[in-house]
Amino acid sequence: MSDPLSHRGDRALRFLLVDDDAVDRLAVRRALQQSALPIEITEAADLEAARAALTEGSFDCLIVDYLIPGSDGQQVIELASELGSTAPAIVLTGHGDEMLASELMKRGAADYLPKNQVANGQLVRSVVQVLRAHELRRREREARDMLQKHAERLHAMVECSERIHAAGAVEQMVAAIAVEALRLFEARAVTVEVEARGDLPAITRVATAVESGDPVPETPDDIVQALRDASGQRVGRMVLQGGVFLDALAGSALLGKFARMAVVALESGALLRAATAASQSRDEVLAVVSHDLRSPLGTVSMGAAMLRRSITAPGGRYADDLEVINRISRSCKRMERLIDDLLDASRLDSGAVIVAPRATPAAHLVQDALDA
């Protein structure tokens, strides 16, 4: 693990030393200067001087005397917190005990040290330990915040997916991808290009979403994310300008997930459009077939009805052929039912079919089958 103090680079550690005793301040200064740490020390003799120093600048560590005129070290720590300082505080005292040390730690001090241990190297060890612990806590907070932001962005990406899928045509979906990426990654501008292939017309779809103003030319600092299908074939690209990422690893992973989700949305839209077109074609074919079948069927049915009237009329001939004519009529009705069934099959997809069960003598069904 790297040294938690390494984040400051070559910058000197800034200390605020609050003590009303000049001799004690000198002892602390000497102890710190004898260490290998690059340091800058600002001194304050009372609470108001400490307030002025905290208002004017920031510090990495506070070293505070427990007793100062008109105040105490605890008030200095509280004042620093009120002014927005997160620097850890080490409290020095010349007459403390373990109970006092425990109380100071409970009230916000990072460490407690008797003044007689300042010169023997204990102060420097305390400073290093306190700063390392403070840096580790800072890193932990950043990691926790990063994880929380990543979780929020993953949740937001689910909502993005819903809006992209609902966009409709290819042009609207590509535009929606650009807009959602702009919002999700807090970018200045996002350009999405989807190459012509498959069911798409021979044209590349391009959409650009801009936070404000006009689009700007691409630069080497822009982030370019390829859009690929499940087989790895490139189907386009996405260019983000000025995007905000949690870090290199999390941001790249999130952008990759978003790109894959965008391609899935485009593929799903293409499949939906193909299925819709196929369903419409089928309905059109069924409508034509049913119409073309009904015409000759109507002629056959009408002819059978005319023959029946001729045979059953008074003095009619061929009375023995009446059953044959009845069979023709029943077959015509059965064909009409089959045509209706074809139309009902096309209505099933839209939920327009209303089922109306009714009782039918089984003997009739059997007789129709035998006649057929």
Evaluate if residue 243 carries a pLDDT over 90. no
Evaluate if residue 53 carries a pLDDT over 90. yes
Strand order in the sheet with 39-44: 39-44, 13-18, 61-65, 89-93, 111-114
pLDDT the model gives residue 351? 62
Q: Percentage of residues in the chain with pLDDT exceeding 90?
A: 8
Evaluate if residue 130 carries a pLDDT over 80. yes
pLDDT the model gives residue 211? 67
Token digits for 119?
A: 């010169």
pLDDT the model gives residue 95? 67
Token digits for 187?
A: 């970018």
pLDDT the model gives residue 6? 56
Average pLDDT over the chain, rounded to whole? 79
Give Cα separations from 355 to 88, 156, 347, 352, 358 (angstroms): 78, 43, 12, 10, 10
Task: Give the tens place of pLDDT for each residue, 311-355.
Answer: 766 655 565 667 777 777 777 777 777 777 777 776 666 666 677
Confidence of residue 61 (pLDDT cuts 50, 70, 90): very high
Evaluate if residue 15 carries a pLDDT over 80. yes
pLDDT the model gives residue 157? 79
pLDDT the model gives residue 252? 74
Task: Give the tens place of pLDDT for each residue, 274-304.
Answer: 777 777 777 777 777 777 777 777 777 777 7
Task: Give the tens place of pLDDT for each residue, 131-147.
Answer: 999 888 888 888 888 77
Average pLDDT for 165-191: 84
pLDDT the model gives residue 51? 92
